[in-house]
Amino acid sequence: MSTTHASIVNTGSSTERFGLSGRQAAIAGAVVAALFIAVFWEWFRSQFRQAIEHPSDWGHTLLIPAIAGWFVWLKREQLLAKPVRPAWTGLVLVVIGLAGYALCTLGPASLQHHNTRGIAVGLSLTGFVLLVTGWAWMQILWFPILYMVAFGQYVSERLISFVTYKLQDLSAKGAYLLLSAFGMDVDLSGNVLAVFSRGSVHMLNVAEACSGMRMLVAFLALGVAMAYVSLPTMWQRVTLVAMGVPVAVFVNVLRVASLGLLTLYDVEFAAGEFHHFIGLVWLVPAFLLYLMVLWILTNLVEVQHPNAKGGPHAG
């Protein structure tokens, strides 16, 4: 009885750490969130527009804040057990973040793109949380914040172009080999597939949109989330996240190959809305394949927990 009473008292005191009732805390949180969005409105507007206009590429970014919030919810008991000691160091980070955002908005053209502003937004968010809650809470909150900043924004063309060409080349060659293995008469020139059928040739340009880069980013975000909540050891987590790369590349090869087959019936299948639809369809088997990797790491790999003792227990 005394243990239960102590637990209730501790929970009650932890919910009023900030000197606010539940309703007051909710209102204060909503006001702070509205102010934060207002200050960085241009960045949020650009982010939301890209996610809505290109759902097969960046639609997953709309889910990232909710996933980050779920991470916090999973650790709520640990958070509420920690003291709240506001750290003025956070104010320094807020100021640096605001200055960086202004520089990346009004400064040199080389700095004016979405991701540099996104880093400034993340720095300001980190500083504000640190200012309000302190270092004890930040020991847990740093990961959800980092996850949200890293995967909650689309990647600008200037950054994504560094790797898309290699992925385009890999996807084109993979699709060429796969179609050839199935007996298709196909030729590859650069990133352009030529599929021959009944005396006619059907061209498929493996453009930047077919590189699989955006699928790769989505799978890395998924892998980090699954590893964080499902796997107990660091090597398992790293393995699952790393496997997101070959899974995304392999499924994108299948996606390009399927588009090559569809061009035999109608060349318009490889362009426009149907092209994006095929990308969304292939996310389903890709996700199932990734779940299979998780299942293998969870069930078929024996993990020796740190607290486990060798040999049978006595008595």
Q: What digits encode the pLDDT tens for the residues 54-94?
A: 776 788 899 999 999 999 999 999 998 998 888 999 999 99
**Pair (242, 122) in one structural domain:** no
* 130 domain-assigned: yes
The percent of residues in the chain predicted with pLDDT above 70, rounded, is 76
Write the single-letter amino acid at 109: A
Higher pLDDT, 265 or 240: 240
Residue 312 lies in a domain: no
Write out the two tokens for 202: 């059907």
Residues 100 and 222 in one domain: no
Supply the pLDDT for residue 126: 94
- Between residues 240 and 1, the one the model is more confident about: 240
Q: Which of 110, 126, 154 is the last residue of a domain?
A: 154
Q: What pTM was estimated for this model as a whole?
A: 0.74
Instruction: Tell me, yes or no, whether 175 and 248 share the same domain.
Output: yes
pLDDT at position 120 over 50: yes
Q: Average the pLDDT over each of 38-47, 76-85, 148-157, 181-190 and give the range with the smallest value.
A: 181-190
Show which of 101, 123, 154 is a domain's final residue.
154
Helices (H), 40-63: 41-53, 55-58
The answer to the question of residue 123 being in a domain is yes
pLDDT at 143 over 90: yes
145/169 same-domain check: no
**Burial zone of 222 (CB within 10 Å; 0-12 exposed, 13-18 middle, 19+ buried):** buried
Q: How far is CA 183 from CA 177, 192, 197, 198, 261, in A?
A: 10, 18, 11, 14, 12
Residue 147 placed within a domain:
yes
What is the arrangement of strands in the sheet containing 192-197, beginning at the earlier edge strand? 185-189, 192-197, 200-205
HEC profile for 144-210? Answer: HHHHHHHHCCCCCHHHHHHHHHHHHHHHHHHHHHHHHHCCCEEEEECCEEEEEECCEEEEEECCHHH
Radius of gyration of the chain from its Cα atoms, rounded to whole angstroms:
24
pLDDT over 80 (residue 34): yes
Give the pLDDT score at 141. 94
Same domain for 262 and 201? yes
pLDDT, residue 12, reads: 46
Compute the distance between CA of residue 68 and CA of residue 234 in angstroms, rounded to an integer: 19
Residues whose CB falls within 8 Å of the CB of residue 204, separated by 6 or more in sequence, listed in order: 192, 193, 194, 195, 256, 259, 260, 263, 270
Has residue 11 been placed in a domain?
A: no
State which residues form the domain around 244.
159-300
Long-range pairs, 185-192, Cβ under 8 A, ≥24: 186/260
Across the chain, mean pLDDT equals 79
3-state secondary structure of 40: coil
C-beta separation of 86 from 132 below 8 A: yes
The reply to whether 118 and 180 lie within a common domain is no
Q: Among 136, 154, 172, which residue terminates a domain?
A: 154
Q: How far apart are CA 177 and CA 35, in angstroms?
A: 53
Instruction: Give the separation between CA 199 and CA 151, rounded to whole angstroms.
Output: 46
